[in-house]
Amino acid sequence: MDRYNSIAVIYGCDSSEWEVSCRSGEFVASRIDGARYDVYEIFARFGIWSLVAYRRRNSMRVIIPEDRRPQVDKTDFSVMVSGEKVRFDYAYIMQHGTPGENGLMQGYLEMLGIPKSSCNAFVSAISFDKFSCKNYLRGLDGVKCAQDIFIRKGDSLAGLAGRAVAELGLPMFVKPTDGGSSFGVTKVKRTANSRFP
């Protein structure tokens, strides 16, 4: 990290986890050594990236009012601060969910050649999508994956409950393949017409 001057901490995201991401990002930004780095906090949600706060070396944190926040120039990952163009040397990704965990942010930074705090875009994309990750890992020595049924958009749901119970048993968990944390998880204990407890 010694070769970097300006670190961008990117938080906020396009998923329901955006508020948690902001808290995580603010915490991380506050823990970066202010005697060695300039730290810039970028709020990124639904394609709008703005500078919300910054802390120059050996200075106090400056919070920018919402109506005056400069937008990040995505062509070179920079921002104008007090008339000066600041290009970020390093990106600390603190987004939970899309686009910080599914490879999109990683791919953008890789195209610009900007070092980042996470794995590469391919690994992020594969590991974020649970179905893809399980298929990638399935069959490797020492790796055991739970059985699953994958439902694609447009698939017929007729008979799905019976098939799922027959193949997986109860209780079972239903989860979006590309959701983060525990959002969207449902524990299914019985079918609508079953007598399971």
1, part of any domain: no
Same domain, 98 and 10: yes
CATH classification at residue 56: 3.40.50.20
Give the tokens for residue 33: 């050594």
Supply the pLDDT for residue 182: 66
Same domain, 13 and 43: yes
pLDDT band at 188 (very low <50, low <70, confident <90, very high): confident
184, part of any domain: yes
Q: Tens digit of pLDDT for each residue in 112-131?
A: 999 999 999 999 999 888 88
74, part of any domain: yes
Q: In the predicted model, what is the mean pLDDT of residues 30-49?
A: 96
Same domain, 108 and 25: yes
Give the tokens for residue 5: 């001057």
At residue 81, what is the residue type? V
62, part of any domain: yes
Given a cut of 90, whether residue 163 has pLDDT beyond it is no
Same domain, 57 and 148: no
pLDDT above 90 coverage of the chain, percent: 58
Q: Is the pTM of this model over 0.85?
A: no
Same domain, 98 and 171: no
Given a cut of 80, whether residue 158 has pLDDT beyond it is no
Q: Which of 8, 9, 38, 2 is nearest to 26 (CA)?
A: 9
Structural domain containing residue 27: 6-126
Same domain, 176 and 99: no
**32-46, 63-77, 159-173: range with lowest mean pLDDT:** 159-173
What single string gives the DSSP state of each residue in 110-160?
HHHT--BSS--HHHHHHHHSHHHHHHHHTTSTT----------TT---TTH
197, part of any domain: no
> Helix 104-112 crosses helix 121-128 at what angle (to 10 degrees)?
180
Supply the pLDDT for residue 196: 42
Q: In the predicted model, what is the mean pLDDT of residues 3-28?
A: 93
Same domain, 23 and 70: yes
Same domain, 13 and 109: yes
Q: Tens digit of pLDDT for each residue in 74-88?
A: 999 999 999 999 999
Where is 26: in which H helix or E strand? helix 18-31
| Percent of residues in the chain assigned helix, strand, coil, to nearest 5 | 25, 25, 50
Same domain, 41 and 98: yes
pLDDT band at 197 (very low <50, low <70, confident <90, very high): very low
164, part of any domain: yes
pLDDT band at 8 (very low <50, low <70, confident <90, very high): very high
Domains held by the chain: number: 2
Given a cut of 80, whether residue 179 has pLDDT beyond it is no
Same domain, 84 and 115: yes
Domain C-terminal end among 126, 157, 177: 126
Same domain, 164 and 83: no
